[in-house]
Amino acid sequence: DLYPVNFKKFPADDVTLTKRATLDFSSNESAKYFKTRITEAYASNRIDFASYYISVIFGCGASCIAGFIMDVRDGKIYDLPLGEENSCLFAE
């Protein structure tokens, strides 16, 4: 089996949020380098992971990909584990 985890067994709940937290750029030191991308993704209101997270993946140079997820409950920003073959020097 190519995907050993069956994500259909772990569905995300539909959640209605009345208010989203302000982004907390102090929660992730490398996020400050990609403020525009992160802010635009957060403004999209597209919660797309685990009922509370907005994700964004983008190219940041030749052979470089960066990605973050933002928690709408507290505004904290987390790096996505994209693998070292795609690592970004700003995130090192």
Per-residue pLDDT tens listing for the chain (92 residues): 455 667 677 666 777 777 899 999 999 998 999 999 999 999 988 888 888 899 998 887 777 788 899 999 999 999 987 665 555 555 55
Provide the residue range defining the domain that includes 29: 20-91
Which of these, 19, 21, 17, lies nearest to 71 by C-alpha position?
Answer: 21
pLDDT confidence of residue 88:
59
pLDDT confidence of residue 74:
96
User: Does residue 60 fall inside a structural domain?
Assistant: yes
Which tokens hold the place of 7? Answer: 């994500």
The three-state secondary structure class of 72 is: coil
User: Does residue 1 fall inside a structural domain?
Assistant: no
Which amino acid makes up residue 24? Answer: D
Which tokens hold the place of 55? Answer: 């994700």
Domain count of the fold of the chain: 1
* Chain position carrying tokens 């995907």: 3
pLDDT confidence of residue 48:
82
* Chain position carrying tokens 């507290």: 74
pLDDT confidence of residue 7:
64
pLDDT confidence of residue 64:
76
Strands (E), the chain: 53-61, 64-71, 77-79
User: Does residue 65 fall inside a structural domain?
Assistant: yes
